[in-house]
């Protein structure tokens, strides 16, 4: 199998590492990260890249993502996907000058990214019939009762039914289980979607809980037992109806 050599140009280290992890799980090969235009162009002088995934707004960079790619594409051509929180007409107009294969507006899901890359490579094969690339598509999380979550320096096995609750703090989410707490740099909404466990339900913008472990509740709070203590989890009004489906009353 031919592996892709991918460059991610992204100034947010957490997002960049999350993209690297997702691309590796998808089976897309080597990933190099550049945080600004100088790093990107230096790497391009040393390596040949098959694909670019580029943020448009780059802090501490001489050039933004679009102008960086205008320079790089003078040397050679490769499929390009932009990622940006910006979706205004002027930004999109500028981006079109580099003929990207896709433009993903942040925040986007790993599934959206995988589909965009899949179509980009398919179209590239149509244009260059002598450069067929076979990709081993693997799901982000297989249908098992456990997952491996990336910790600081290793992957940690977590049994889904052992999860007590998840707590998000903007850029990361703490996964609290019956035995430990693992910090994962992925947004809460994305983790809940990837776990594919129906009884792990959002209860608040910053929380999700294992509804099978709820001991009692009132109108504003859920109480869940773990680590020899009773945890108080806020129950947001917009999430209450979904949570109540998992709490049958006599």
H-run or E-run covering 36: none
Classify each residue of 28-57 as buried b or exposed e, where b means 16 or more C-beta atoms within 10 Å of its C-beta. Answer: bbebbbbbbbebbbebbeeeebbbbbbbbb
- The answer to whether domain 146-244 has CATH 3.40.1160.10 is no
- Partners of 81 in the β-ladder: 53, 102
Show me where the domains of the chain are located. 5-127, 146-244
CA atoms within 13 A on the CB side of 222: 28
Tokens 């249908």 belong to residue: 143
Q: What is the pLDDT of residues 51-86, one digit of tens each?
A: 999 999 998 899 999 999 999 998 878 889 999 888
Q: What is the pLDDT of residues 154-207, one digit of tens each?
A: 788 899 999 999 999 877 899 999 988 888 878 888 888 888 888 999 999 999
- The answer to whether domain 5-127 has CATH 3.40.50.720 is no
Structure tokens that stand for 87 in this block: 């979706």
Q: What is the pLDDT of residues 11-28, one digit of tens each?
A: 988 888 888 888 887 877
Q: What is the pLDDT of residues 148-163, one digit of tens each?
A: 887 767 788 899 999 9
């Amino acid at each position: 199998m031919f592996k892709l050599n991918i460059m991610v140009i992204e100034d947010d280290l957490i997002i960049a590492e999350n993209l690297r992890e997702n691309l590796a799980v998808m089976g897309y090969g080597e990933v190099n990260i550049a945080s600004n235009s100088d790093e990107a162009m230096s790497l391009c002088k040393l390596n040949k890249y098959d694909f670019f995934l580029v943020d448009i707004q780059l802090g501490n960079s001489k050039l933004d993502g679009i102008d960086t790619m205008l320079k790089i594409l003078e040397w050679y051509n490769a499929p390009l996907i932009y990622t940006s929180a910006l979706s205004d007409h002027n930004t999109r107009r500028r981006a079109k000058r580099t003929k990207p294969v896709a433009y993903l507006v942040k925040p986007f899901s790993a599934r959206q990214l995988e589909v965009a890359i899949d179509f980009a490579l398919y179209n590239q094969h149509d244009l260059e019939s002598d450069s067929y690339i076979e990709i081993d598509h693997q799901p982000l999380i297989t249908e098992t009762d456990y997952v491996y979550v990336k910790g600081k320096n290793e992957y940690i096995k977590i049994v889904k039914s052992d999860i007590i609750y998840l707590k998000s703090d903007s850029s990361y989410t703490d996964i609290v289980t019956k035995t430990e707490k693992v910090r994962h740099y992925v947004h809460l909404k994305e983790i809940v979607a990837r776990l594919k466990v129906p009884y792990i339900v959002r209860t608040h913008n910053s929380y999700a809980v294992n509804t099978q472990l709820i001991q009692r509740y009132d109108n504003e709070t859920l109480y869940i037992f773990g680590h020899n203590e009773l945890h108080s989890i806020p129950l947001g009004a917009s999430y209450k109806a979904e949570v109540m489906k998992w709490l049958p009353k006599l």
